[in-house]
């Protein structure tokens, strides 16, 4: 294992953070945090850290010893990070995964800001008349992201969640963790589950670039139901395009990524950043060659 490149000396007052993933080249997090550092004129850095799963723990200890302020954790490390934290936020415990680490006095604190990002994205981009408590939600998928979405929806006052997954057993397992408000359903019941729904959320990879499109008949979905997709490549997924064509309000997935970054940035660099059109444009700008 190699130490972080150009590690800051212990006691260096300039904060450093980064995103740990394998691979990491696709991550937009360095663009997000780099934009905020520049906007606020802050001394600090945020680095892409490519770390294989086999050396994740010693690498994390190395960051801690080298004076890093913390890190974001992406695939495939979110579950591993959970077991390495000295302290966990309540939402990290509830979701069962960590995506944000804060280092302080040799202590690793773990948080999960995915649900926060999901709700903040809806609060910023959904129509002002839409309210979570106005009806049931339909959630497609039962993976790691789905756990954060379920927790966020319930906390926001959604009365019930119809959880649809190709593997029913996995949906049942997730539903058991959150109680009677979550109803597990087989994928064959997806179209019927849309009847009376207030929001439809896709947390699967269907519709992602390089993946098959999400093939779902939206006929039963009420015209006022909100449709959102956590996928942001492409920005307008086939699901969002189909929902928009029939008049449903839609929210793309990029905002979830942007908003989930806010708590970490504030913890590491001491400034509460904002998500706005300028940030979105900077994150989506074509990459330039060095």
Query: What is the predicted pLDDT for the residue at 7?
Result: 41
**Span 140-153, pLDDT tens digits:** 999 889 999 999 99
**Span 122-135, pLDDT tens digits:** 999 999 999 999 99
Q: Is the pLDDT of residue 9 over 50?
A: no
Torsion-angle region of residue 98: left (phi > 0), alpha (psi -120 to 50) or beta?
A: beta
Q: Is position 244 annotated as part of the catalytic site?
A: no
Query: Cα(239)–Cα(131) distance, rounded to whole angstroms?
Result: 21
Query: Cα(119)–Cα(19) distance, rounded to whole angstroms?
Result: 22
From the CB of residue 192, how many other CB atoms can be counted at a distance below 10 Å? 12
Query: Cα(251)–Cα(190) distance, rounded to whole angstroms?
Result: 20
Query: Cα(88)–Cα(67) distance, rounded to whole angstroms?
Result: 20
**DSSP assignment of 69-123, as one string?**
-EEEE-TT-HHHHHHH-SEE-HHHHHHT---EEEEETTEEEEE--HHHHHHHHHH
Residue with tokens 């593997």: 167
Which residues lie closer than 8 Å to 121 by C-beta, 6 or more apart? 228, 251, 253, 255, 256, 258, 259
Q: With contact defined as beta carbons under 8 Å apart, do 214 and 238 qualify?
A: yes
Query: What is the predicted pLDDT for the residue at 207?
Result: 82
Q: Is the pTM of this model over 0.85?
A: yes
Q: With contact defined as beta carbons under 8 Å apart, do 69 and 17 qualify?
A: yes
Query: What is the predicted pLDDT for the residue at 12?
Result: 53
* Active-site option among 78, 93, 244, 287: 78
% pLDDT > 70, the chain: 95
Q: Is the pLDDT of residue 11 over 80?
A: no
């Amino acid at each position: 294992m190699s130490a972080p490149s150009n590690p800051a000396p212990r006691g260096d007052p300039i904060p450093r953070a980064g995103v740990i993933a394998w691979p990491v080249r696709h991550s937009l997090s360095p663009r997000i945090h780099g934009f905020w550092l520049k906007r606020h004129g802050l001394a600090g850095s945020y680095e892409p850290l490519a770390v294989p799963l086999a050396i994740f723990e010693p690498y994390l200890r190395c960051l801690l010893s080298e004076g890093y302020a913390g890190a974001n954790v992406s695939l495939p490390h979110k579950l591993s990070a959970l077991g390495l934290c000295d302290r966990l936020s309540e939402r990290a415990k509830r979701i069962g995964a960590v995506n944000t680490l804060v280092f302080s006095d040799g202590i690793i604190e773990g948080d999960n800001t995915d649900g926060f990002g999901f709700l903040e994205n809806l609060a910023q981009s959904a129509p002002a008349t839409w309210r979570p408590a106005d009806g049931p939600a339909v959630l497609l998928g039962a993976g790691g992201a789905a756990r954060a979405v379920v927790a966020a929806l319930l906390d926001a006052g959604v009365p019930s969640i119809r959880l649809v997954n190709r593997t029913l057993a996995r949906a049942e397992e997730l539903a058991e963790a959150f109680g009677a408000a979550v109803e597990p359903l087989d994928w064959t019941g997806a179209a019927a589950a849309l009847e009376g729904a207030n929001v439809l959320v896709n947390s699967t990879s269907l519709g992602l670039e390089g993946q098959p499109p999400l093939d779902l008949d939206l006929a039963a979905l009420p015209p006022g139901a909100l449709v959102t997709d956590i996928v942001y490549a492409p920005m307008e997924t086939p699901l969002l395009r189909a929902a928009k064509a029939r008049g449903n309000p839609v929210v793309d997935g990029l905002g979830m990524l942007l908003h989930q970054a806010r708590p970490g940035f504030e913890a590491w660099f001491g400034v509460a950043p904002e998500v706005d059109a300028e940030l979105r444009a900077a994150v989506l700008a074509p990459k330039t060659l060095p």
